[in-house]
Structure 1
Amino acid sequence: MSPEIEAAIRAHAVAEYPRECCGLIINEGGRDVYVRCRNVAAIGRQGDHFVLSKEDYFAAADRGELLALVHSHPDMPARATQADRVSCEASGLTWFIVRVDGTEGSVEAAEIEELTPSGYRAPLEGREFYHGVLDCYALVRDWFEQVRGITLPDFARRDNWWGDGSGEDLYMKHFRSAGFQPVELEDLRVGDCFLMQVRANVVNHAAIYVGDGKILHHLYGRPSRHDIYGGYWREVTRLVVRYSGS
């Protein structure tokens, strides 16, 4: 990284504080340059710390070869989170993370750490929650890939789609197109999924039956975990579905 690009990244991180900045390093006409991009993540919702504007991404790609993605960690170490590592793998790009601290009106950018794709996969149990990257549906997708070797489709989903008044009902809309069919609770098998309605007007949570009366699931804002299926979880279950192929 050249001193010019490093200075540009630090300036962007300071300018965007306390929000996370995000940008891209591209090679434009044989010269590496840093391109500031917009963070279009919803403000005030856990799990969406930065979402790089699609329009800015494609505009940068039209200008030159994409080399790296950059974002900041306000008041946090530049160490990669699980979501950073998962997203880095998906992007196929090198990532740079810059720490930026603000105290008593002074904002300063600190260390910059590099992250490269290395085959990382988040653990199924104890993973952090980052909506759209590591959430209940991501856990379902990862379980089927790691345990069954099945790749489920992904679906675009905004944070709080279940409670923002939009009327979206994503699980009920997409479970059949993802290869699932309804089954009876009495015929429960390992790998069946419970579609649940947790403090919402629509189905907004999924859990995987892993046997011995237990489910694996990932609640909003909490680490993924195993729980005994019954009681509250049975009360909020609206449908049981089984993968049968797309």
Structure 2
Amino acid sequence: MKTEILNHAKKCGENECCGFVIDNKIYMPCNNISPTPTETFEISPEDWITAEQQGAITAVVHSHPDGLPILSEADQIFQQQTALDWWLVCNNKIHKFRYIKPLLGREFEHGKTDCLTMVRDAYMLVGIDLPDYEREDDWWHNGQNLYLDLLPKNGFEQVEPESLQEGDIIIVCLGSSTPNHAAIYIGNQQILHHCPNRLSKRDAYGGFWLDYTHSIWRHKKWQKSAFMAILNNMAIDLI
């Protein structure tokens, strides 16, 4: 299936290719009926019907022939409408983006949609897959130190506060002497995070959050250009 997808993208040249993954094992190529195929893609209703008749659509595939290997704002808006994984062909590679709810405005549920989920989902958008972990609520009062244990194991290294940049993970002591809360720095003295009993949101990085910052971490594979994927997702909240 991988070879079929890459060959289809090559065949389409400067135009964006498009198609479906069916039952996680079959690739169904489609015609791009967009009036501007070098910039966008559109799959016909007839192709949607044909795909659904063949099995369960498990991913939408398209390409960025001369673009970045991240989902654009329009891509992420349409992904929300399909509620499917999206695969993106770029630079002769397939980049897979699982379906997630928008980063802003999420309901909090520990272990499912919490501050660690926020970090995992945001980093998935930039092409860095982080593992999920079983975690009980109040782990920071039960002798565990999950963030400090797991960050170095997953490609992060601590950096000095003076070098803070977009995409860095800020670890905060929230009602505990143990660092137990993670936020993503999004520039302009703002953070993106998800606190208990609140919707996920932007906040000013000052006052409490700055005063109770424990440490700042940066992934070794972080690419500044990929940060646009997180901004694209946050723009969904404005539509």
TM-score by length of 2: 0.51
Question: What secondary structure does 1:238 align onto?
Answer: strand
Equivalent residue for 2:210, pick from 209, 234, 245: 234
* RMSD of Structure 2 on Structure 1 (CA): 2.1
Find the aligned partners of 2:103 and 2:164 in 1 and give their Cα distance. Answer: 21
The answer for the alignment partner of 1:154 in structure 2 is: 132
Q: Is 2:148 aligned against 1:172? A: yes
Q: What are the within-5 Å matches in structure 2 for residues 33-72 of structure 1?
A: none
Q: Which amino acid aligns with 1:231?
A: G
> What fraction of aligned residue pairs are identical, expressed as a percent?
42
Which ranges in structure 2 are unaligned for 5 or more consecutive residues?
1-82, 86-97, 223-239
The answer for the alignment partner of 1:195 in structure 2 is: 171
Find the aligned partners of 1:134 and 1:184 in 2 and give their Cα distance. Answer: 29
Offset, 1:245: 4.1
Question: What secondary structure does 1:215 align onto?
Answer: strand
Find the aligned partners of 2:200 and 2:174 in 1 and give their Cα distance. Answer: 16
Q: Is 2:109 aligned against 1:130? A: yes
Offset, 1:233: 0.4
Q: Which amino acid aligns with 2:157?
A: Q
Q: What are the within-5 Å matches in structure 2 for residues 102-113 of structure 1?
A: none
Which ranges in structure 1 are unaligned for 5 or more consecutive residues?
1-87, 91-118
Q: Is 2:186 aligned against 1:207? A: no
**1:50-92, CA deviations, whole angstroms, 9 ceiling, x for partnerless residues?**
xxxxxxxxxxxxxxxxxxxxxxxxxxxxxxxxxxxxxx999xx
Question: What secondary structure does 1:128 align onto?
Answer: coil
Question: What secondary structure does 1:176 align onto?
Answer: helix
Q: Which amino acid aligns with 1:179?
A: G
Offset, 1:212: 1.1
Q: What are the within-5 Å matches in structure 2 for residues 69-88 of structure 1?
A: none
Offset, 1:188: 1.0
User: Which protein is richer in helix relative to its size?
Assistant: 2
Offset, 1:201: 2.8
Find the aligned partners of 1:178 and 1:232 in 2 and give their Cα distance. Answer: 27
Find the aligned partners of 2:144 and 2:205 in 1 and give their Cα distance. Answer: 27
Q: Which amino acid aligns with 1:133?
A: K
User: Which protein is richer in strand relative to its size?
Assistant: 1
Question: Which ranges of 4 or more aligned residues in structure 1 deviate by more than 4 Å?
Answer: none
Task: Name which structure has the greater RCO, CA cutoff 8 Å, separation 6+.
Answer: 2
Question: What secondary structure does 2:140 align onto?
Answer: coil
Find the aligned partners of 1:199 and 1:220 in 2 and give their Cα distance. Answer: 11
User: Aligned residue pairs: how many?
Assistant: 128
